[in-house]
Amino acid sequence: MSLLKRSATELVGTFWLVLGGCGSAVLAAAFPDVGIGLLGVSFAFGLTVLTMAFAIGHISGCHLNPAVSLGLVVGGRFPASELPAYIVAQVIGGVIAAALLYFIASGKPGFELAGGLASNGYGEHSPGGYSMAAGFVTELVMTAMFILIILGATDKRAPAGLAPIAIGLGLTLIHLISIPVTNTSVNPARSTGPALIVGGWAIQQLWMFWVAPLLGAVVGGVLYRWLGKEES
């Protein structure tokens, strides 16, 4: 499969992740009487990855996330030469999804972009008011563990065919833990889309949702290479 087609597949997959995950947060989390809440949003993000893993995993590997792509490079599962194309495609997919979500959400009377469009943040923009340091550590650790789950679940020694389930549930758990802290990123592309639409504070704080997940990806990739290495 050509790099162009695989990158386009990543664009589509990341579009679905941001539309499904952020869309659930913006459109359904607090819907009158039947809002899905934090639990529902967490499952929505996990389900986007689960569904795309089965749908496109055999085409592009279903990274949907610059941090995952980097973690797979560090873990020895993905060529570094293809990393830029994947990252660009993932970010574009996230931006398109955020723009579509804004269009849909703004169709409701009283909608205000000041609500954040599910943007990630810290300090006064953290759902629970958590500090920048708390947010940074949370994003780093959660991303590292996500990479560990991905590398472990897709290892040739792992049970065949079950990786999408482990990865999807892993992302669900990560959101259950960290939505109150940062609204959960662990994915720079997911953060960039809404931030570019919201502007202002969301762009000012976006740096953290690139730096912390990418550092976490390196940690997770290095850790699994050590833990998973077969000893002679």
Q: What is the CATH number of the domain that holds 30?
A: 1.20.1080.10
Question: What's the confidence (pLDDT) of residue 139?
Answer: 98
In a domain, 83, yes or no: yes
Domain span holding position 184 = 3-108+117-227
Give φ, ψ of 165 to 5 degrees: -70, -45
Give φ, ψ of 157 to 5 degrees: -85, -10
Beta carbons of 127 and 37 less than 8 angstroms apart: no
Number of domains in the chain: 1
- Residue spans of the chain under pLDDT 70: 32, 232
Q: Which of 140, 136, 139, 175 minimizes the C-alpha distance to 49?
A: 175
State the first-to-last Cα distance of the chain, in angstroms, to the nearest integer.
35
Question: What's the confidence (pLDDT) of residue 212?
Answer: 98
Half-sphere exposure of 150 (CA within 13 A, CB side): 33
Question: What's the confidence (pLDDT) of residue 232?
Answer: 65
Beta carbons of 98 and 16 less than 8 angstroms apart: no
In a domain, 232, yes or no: no
What 3-state DSSP class applies to 128? Answer: coil
Task: Report the alpha-carbon distance of residue 165 to residue 160 in Å, rounded.
Answer: 11
Task: Report the alpha-carbon distance of residue 90 to residue 173 in Å, rounded.
Answer: 22
